[in-house]
Amino acid sequence: MTKIRINKFLAESGISSRRKSEEYILESRVAVNDNVITDLSFKVDSEKDIITLDGERVKPKRHIYILLNKPKGYITSVTDDRDRRTVLDLVQTQERIYPVGRLDYDTMGLLFLTNDGNFSQLLTHPGNKVPREYEVKLDKPIEEKDKLKLLNGIMLDGKPGKFIKISFPKPSDKKIITVICEEGRNRFVKRMFGRLRYTVLDLIRTGFAGIRLDLRPGKFRNLTPQEVQGIRTRYSH
């Protein structure tokens, strides 16, 4: 395990906010392996070190990594002020988790949920170029010239966007397309096709960060430790 700052460890363990954790440290209330620590930059290994606050051991939060096949009719949110169903209604867990990125209300497919902020940041940071794969159903067959435009890049919100790969699961049906992109902008796939006057009728995310969708709609599973480590290895810099 990579060492992290003591104040970050306390905050991620659910003890308090980062700022309040710093107060505890400066008040000499925190010890590591029976040694009082007042240095805010001190780093700990949560798998080896024994960290205590006021003599009570602080245990690291158990991180959860869930893969959900999101069906239509659910919003990608923890709560909703309009009382619509959220993706958390589909997942049975006592832990406080949240979605990694977003899928639209009527978009289906692979969605990660976690309580690990670093993992979420790794997947969503634009600089990491994490690939997303989608199966798209259009209102009409795509023309070759438009396919090339989407691969070469078109302007969206004043900045270029592109797909890095476009393929056809059924070569005879140009309305069903598989696209791969490294973008996480809001409604990116739909708006890319919309810029060229195509309407997306159905959209399913079938892959994310090298993980393939392998569940029926509405079902979920825990990512394996090997899958989580594989994602960290591929996209950590």
Residue ranges of the chain whose pLDDT lies below 50: none
User: pLDDT above 70 covers what percent of the chain?
Assistant: 99
User: What is the per-residue pLDDT for 235?
Assistant: 92
Phi, psi at residue 227, to the nearest 5°? -65, -45
Domains of the chain by start residue, with CATH: 4-57 (3.10.290.10), 65-126+211-235 (3.30.70.580), 131-208 (3.30.70.1560)
Angle of helix 117-124 relative to helix 225-235, nearest 10 degrees, comes to 50
pTM of the model: 0.81
Amino acid at 117: G
On whether the CB atoms of residues 178 and 206 are closer than 8 A, the answer is: yes
Tens of pLDDT along 175-194? 999 999 999 999 999 999 99
Rounded CA gap, 237 and 233, in Å?
Answer: 9
H or E element, residue 119: helix 117-124
> Which residue in 104, 106, 157, 173 is the catalytic one?
104
104 classed as catalytic:
yes
Write down the pLDDT at residue 1.
53
